[in-house]
Copies of this chain bind each other. A is one copy, B any other.
């Protein structure tokens, strides 16, 4: 029987980061992964989609730059070539993760773990003992119960990555981040896209104003909001629309992206307290068992790769480190790599209303920005919204839609965590001409 300080189950951005952090503290760590290192993020999520979106953006640019003086003929998209780039990217990053784990002398087992109790894990015939257990088994696409959902034309975000030919049309069930990124991907590639969303607006994590702008900017995409899919046929889809009418539309391929479910199978033996279908944790990521932590998608708190890594850091700090760190769920940025891009961090206007806060908004539009006009049509979408505390002017949220949004959001977490005010940001100098100047404009637009 081999004894570890820590066993980590799952090697996605939660698990591998936890192993590395514990390794850096000199702990004896085992990480067990039944699929590939990197988890959903590297293999089926962030990385492959961003790689494909990059290809689609290049296709879009090659097709739409005559106004800038650039004309290209016979622009074609080679799906196999795009996949090859995507797969190479995944491969490179996977190797990188392996190297980082090895550098910290982490033992890696690629096999299925069987948890026996909170101190004991079995892999094949071998039993491992551990002081601490970090569960980081992640999530998978939620298969909703719809008639015909198991049809051959229905794909989840997993299977869609294996496409080799562009479909003529695609119907996307669910207008969350995954659904909208794929909608944008196919839209840029001139595939006819329909999105069916149950809620009244797409992108629930996004400030409503901006989500609406995103939907409007994706002009060629058909959106059915407030609609519930009831059945899927061989070449059609039926849904109840917002006026309670049943509608049937033709469709070829279908992407099911209506949420994700935690991979809790095999964890039942631990009899952990649950929150709905997720494993319940506190702000230190501890479960109802003192030596068991659950991080990443598994606890349902924030299904983002970078949240997962942060949870890893916090969990390890609370196990082996200073035992002082806690998660701040209100300073986690997100980014949407669609066309246009969008991002946000902290409270939205709706959040602030819901929490009954005394807040103010500052809004700016990119259409009067020098770089925006140099690079985009005047009527293109671009908007920034800053939420501040009315009394202190401290920034509570930063939200944006428009070019470079995904790369402009980075300091939002640090600004919010360190209680920087909008006036402090507005007082600083921004490089001209940059689209980021609109962030300053939004700060300046906050009424006294």
Contacts and interface: CB of A to CB of B under 8 A. Distances in A.
A408 B82 CA distance: 27
A306 B406 contact: no
A187 interface: no
A59 B70 CA distance: 6
B41 A432 contact: yes
A370 B46 contact: yes
B306 A370 contact: no
A392 B186 CA distance: 49
B73 A72 contact: yes
Contacts of A368: 96
23 contacts: A51-B374, A51-B375, A58-B68, A58-B70, A59-B65, A67-B81, A69-B77, A70-B76, A70-B82, A71-B75, A71-B78, A72-B72, A73-B74, A89-B370, A333-B431, A404-B407, A407-B407, A407-B435, A407-B436, A410-B411, A410-B437, A411-B411, A417-B427
A136 to B, nearest CB: 15
A429 B65 contact: no
B76 A71 contact: yes
A54 interface: yes
Secondary structure at the A interface, as helix, strand, loop or mixed, is helix
A305 interface: yes
Given A93-B373, A408-B410, A425-B414, A68 B55 contact: yes
Interface in A191-245: none
Nearest to A411: B411
Contacts of A93: 370, 373
A304 interface: yes
A85 B68 contact: yes
Given A70-B75, A77-B70, A96-B368, A413 B429 contact: yes
Given A69-B78, A378-B92, A425-B414, A305 B433 contact: yes
A320 interface: no
A213 to B, nearest CB: 19
Interface centre among A65, A343, A427, A432 (most CB of B within 10 A): A432
A79 interface: yes
A420 interface: yes
A374 B50 contact: yes
A129 interface: no
A47 interface: yes
A439 interface: yes
Interface string A406-448: 1111110111011010001101111111111101100000000
Given A417-B427, A417-B428, A85 B59 contact: no
A432 B306 contact: yes
Contact of A343 (B58, B92, B406, B431): B431
Interface string A36-53: 000001100011001100
Contacts of A435: 407
A424 B420 contact: no
Interface in A318-350: 331-335, 343
